Amino acid sequence: MKPQLPHRIPLLGAPTASGKTSVAIELALLLSAEVTVEVVTADAMQVYAGMDIGTAKPSPEEQAGVPHHLLDLVTPAEEFSVADWVAAAEETIARVLERGSLPFVVGGTGFYLRSLTDGLPLVPRADRAVQEQLEAELAERGLPALKEELRAAAPADDERAGLNPRRVVRALEIVRRTGRAPSAFGRSEPRFRYCKAALLPDPAQLDPRIAARSRHMFDHGLVAEVEQLSRRWPVQATALQAIGYREVLAHLRGETTLAEAEEAVLTATRQYARRQLTWFRKEPDTRLFPGLAAANRDSLAEWLITCFSGRDAG
């Protein structure tokens, strides 16, 4: 007899190179005798078709073994917002539950995960004219200048935006138009409830794995992937500004050597992983698992079963 479907949807956040994709598949197979587990991927860049190597997208073989959702939703030329992702995620979760399967949300994009669990900011619709002015200022003055203005007006929103130029521009657009911080507008009501967990490996554990992943990407065709994407979609919104893609684009434009591009990817990925660790460490009502995914497999399995049973796993 199969257990009841969860009152809370299990959600696992983890930094890049921590092994979350592999452990999610292992856990899904472990529970396969009782229920079909389907992974709902929370990665802002894996939604783009063709961006496979640089985003460490699950392989076709991995996807064949365990269903994965929210991959390859749009082309790099298309806009895709956090609101678009939350809508797609909630609809996917509903369909998975209707099939009698267990949706398992797994990813490293903390802003997406928080928007799914806490609701979307109820901010005004974007004003492209104001955004274009800010984008011109970004090109002229640089990101630090815009972040300084945002930090003075809305420090919490500045921290949330991080070093993402698109989020900084959007937050400043709202501040300039309304005189209010984006976070002051409140949030929508989430469609589902979640039991949340996060992996918190030590940076010393992550760094060699990040180096190995970066080397693997370059050895397995990252430069060719970026070159093909830039030819096919020469005009694109933000997709090719992702880590790995922007550095290789600079190399293809002749601005850096290949070795410099490789080092830039490695540095940017390490910095990103540290920001992810800081983000997940601060998430409320989240069960924290120190260490890499593989070392926590048994504990994660127990946690997942607890979520599955409907007991509070907070």
Look up the CATH number of the domain holding residue 135. Answer: 1.10.20.140
* Residues of the domain holding 144: 128-185
d(CA 70, CA 87): 11
pLDDT of residue 179: 95
Q: Is residue 78 part of a domain?
A: yes
Residues 78 and 24 grouped into a single domain: yes
Mean pLDDT, the chain, integer: 92
Q: Is residue 314 part of a domain?
A: no
> Is the model's pLDDT at 123 over the cut of 70?
yes
% of the chain exceeding 90 in pLDDT: 82
Residues 17 and 106 grouped into a single domain: yes
Of 31 and 235, the one with more pLDDT? 31
> Is the model's pLDDT at 2 over the cut of 90?
no
pLDDT of residue 235: 72
pLDDT of residue 313: 43
Per residue in 74-90, pLDDT (tens digit) is 999 998 989 999 999 99
d(CA 229, CA 198): 33
Look up the CATH number of the domain holding residue 83. Answer: 3.40.50.300
Q: Is residue 122 part of a domain?
A: no
The last residue of one of the domains, among 157, 185, 213, is 185
User: Structure tokens of 139?
Assistant: 């090109």
In this structure, of 37-51, 183-197, 300-314, the range with the lowest mean pLDDT score is 300-314
> Is the model's pLDDT at 3 over the cut of 50?
no
For range 114-118, the mean pLDDT? 96
Per residue in 172-212, pLDDT (tens digit) is 999 999 999 998 998 899 999 999 999 999 999 999 999 99
Residues 143 and 163 grouped into a single domain: yes
Question: H-helix or E-strand containing 307?
Answer: helix 297-309
Q: What one-character DSSP code corresponds to residue 229?
A: H
pLDDT of residue 5: 58
User: Residue 136: exposed, middle, or buried by beta-carbon count in 10 A (0-12, 13-18, 19+)?
Assistant: exposed
Helices (H) and strands (E) in the chain, counts: 13, 6
Residues 207 and 88 grouped into a single domain: yes
> Is the model's pLDDT at 6 over the cut of 80?
no
Confidence band for 238, pLDDT divided at 50, 70 and 90: confident
Q: Is residue 2 part of a domain?
A: no
Query: Structural domain tally of the chain?
Result: 2
pLDDT of residue 234: 84
Is 266 in contact with 218 (CB distance < 8 Å)?
A: no
Residues 105 and 210 grouped into a single domain: yes
d(CA 69, CA 150): 34
**Residue (of 40, 46, 12, 13) closest to 243 by Cα position:** 46
